[in-house]
Amino acid sequence: MKKPLLTLTLLGALTTSSFAQSSGADYKNADYTPKKAAIKYLPELETLVFEFQVAGSAGKTQPKPAGKTDGAPVLGYVFPTTLKSTDIGMGATEGIVAMALTSHPDFEDTPLWDENGDGNYTNDGLVWHAHWVVLIKDSRVAGGFSVKEFDHMGAAPKLPPTSAPGMHMYMDSPGFTVTMQGNTGRVVVPLDRINRRRDFKFDLVTCYMEVNASDNKRPMLGVYQVYGVLSGNLSLPYTVAATN
């Protein structure tokens, strides 16, 4: 009887520590309390504006650098949608297509864009920027989701030409303009970049993610803490609104 108990105890300790070392508790504050979300259609610009409001200041709380990529913190305001991966220029694959506004001071993944405008294209990770990601349910991390990966030894799936090379994940860096003003964050999404779709639904999730480059039992980019889900149940109930 003793041995199985010990094994169970060890397993429990390992599981607890792998979650505990990846806590987003430090960042849980009103800046990540969802209040509202909308996607507005601007017909004269053939553009959608994804917009969210929080109880605090949008984007004000940013991650503290870990000093390395492995274990690097990533904070996000994420719009899960009912769009298909093929709508955003990726090959067909199962999962939740999401527009993720992220900040991560330890690494850079927008080689085509210079978000902080200093002429250096490889130092913009801290600046809030847009990613398309495909999310999957993932019980290996406490937040229950990760960015879908593909086998880096196999043939790469189709990804948009704006995706950052060498990431082995269903992730794109489309370069859409992101603004954070007061309690409101926005990202500008031209319709011709999403197959001209306006008939999709969406939700808003605020969360802490983390990069993992050393533990093959966890995903490369997992969600470790969900701060808030606007709908309360991730039912993606919201629709695109026309504005005049």
The answer to whether 80 touches 201, Cβ cutoff 8 Å, is no
Backbone φ, ψ for residue 57 (5° rounding):
-105, 125
CB 125, min distance to Ca ion, A: 8
CB 69, min distance to Ca ion, A: 15
77 vs 113 by CB, closer to Ca ion: 113
123 vs 184 by CB, closer to Ca ion: 123
CB 120, min distance to Ca ion, A: 4
112 vs 213 by CB, closer to Ca ion: 112
Distances (CA, A) of 208 to 120, 127, 211: 27, 16, 11
How many C-beta neighbours within 10 Å does residue 131 have? Answer: 24
- Which chain residues interact with Ca ion by CB under 5 A? 110, 113-114, 116, 118, 120-121, 123-124
Count CA atoms within 13 Å of residue 124 on its CB side.
Answer: 21
51 vs 109 by CB, closer to Ca ion: 109
19 vs 107 by CB, closer to Ca ion: 107
CB 50, min distance to Ca ion, A: 21
Backbone φ, ψ for residue 123 (5° rounding):
-140, 35
Distances (CA, A) of 117 to 2, 76, 105, 206: 62, 22, 16, 27
| Range list of β-strands (E), the chain | 34-42, 47-54, 73-80, 96-103, 129-137, 145-147, 171-172, 178-181, 184-190, 201-202, 205-211, 221-229, 238-239, 241-242
CB 124, min distance to Ca ion, A: 4
CB 212, min distance to Ca ion, A: 22
123 vs 231 by CB, closer to Ca ion: 123
CB 171, min distance to Ca ion, A: 14
The answer to whether 142 touches 226, Cβ cutoff 8 Å, is no
118 vs 192 by CB, closer to Ca ion: 118
Residue indicated by tokens 């919201």: 238
Q: How far apart are CA 60 and CA 57, in angstroms?
A: 6
